[in-house]
Structure 1
């Protein structure tokens, strides 16, 4: 029996993990938005073509508004949430890697004696957090396909 890995903040410590997490979350949110859009489309078409008997024009409009409105709002929120995953990824990369690397490089440039040069970013001399990810930006598996967030976590826990 295998147990699912438990959540810890260290799982989102590498840029490729955050990128995989964001992509997977974006895909799930987009699929839910598509699902709601299909239900909304069918509900609106059904209501427009088959309004219940006995309703006045105003009452039919009012009830349709109460059905159509929330579905439209839910779909809009899901689409906005999917778009926000790009902001999540960019803020993480900038806040956890780019800005600290620039600060460290500026600090080291101030501390170096005359004639010495600061190590190049990505040279491995800054530690694991600032090492660049794969060239494509996506976490690539051995077969070249992008690994999902949970696949990467499972690999980390099995190693």
Structure 2
């Protein structure tokens, strides 16, 4: 794979994991086919052409010792290819489906708590309170007589009240 360098955070979306596991499965299937082809050829060779210096039992024994590891390799590679489906499903479930369900449950629970906290009048369908409007500036501040907070304090300290 020439191009972008691999990093684990590339598997952060289900479609990325799906593509990666499909690519891994394809590579493993290629190796399964390769080992199966070698195994088939080795078994055919030993069955049809046993070395003349070996007796029938020794030829069978050596054939078994050579071909059995190929069979085991093939089984392990096939099992690894099957495990890619489990990897993909677990990733999707554990990192996306379960957290989404938990979040939806938490939101529903929070909405239920808010609904239970509403006054009886609001639940009956009466008018809900309007959202708070921003306050208008103090009248003294609009006509130039107010000023800032410290000016108001000074005026009150001098006995003058703002109008």
TM-score, normalised via structure 2 length: 0.66
Q: Give the equivalent residue in structure 1 for 2:19.
A: 20
- 1:57 deviates by 1.5
Q: Give the equivalent residue in structure 2 for 1:149.
A: none
- 1:79 deviates by 0.5
- 1:54 deviates by 1.5
Q: How many residues align?
A: 113
Q: Give the equivalent residue in structure 2 for 1:49.
A: 48
Q: Give the equivalent residue in structure 2 for 1:78.
A: 77
SS at match of 2:115: coil
Structure with bigger helix share is: 2
TM-score, normalised via structure 1 length: 0.68
CA distance in structure 1 between the partners assigned to 2:54 and 2:45 by the alignment: 15
- 1:114 deviates by 2.2
Instruction: Map 1:10-159; keep pairs closer than 5 Å.
Output: 10-112=9-111, 113-114=114-115
CA root-mean-square deviation: 1.4
Q: Give the equivalent residue in structure 2 for 1:146.
A: none
Larger radius of gyration: 2
Structure 2, unpaired ranges of 5+: 117-163
CA distance in structure 1 between the partners assigned to 2:115 and 2:17 by the alignment: 39
Moved over 4 A (4+): none
SS at match of 1:54: coil
- 1:7 deviates by 2.3
CA distance in structure 2 between the partners assigned to 1:6 and 1:92 by the alignment: 22
- Higher relative contact order at CA 8 Å, sep ≥6: structure 1 or structure 2? 1
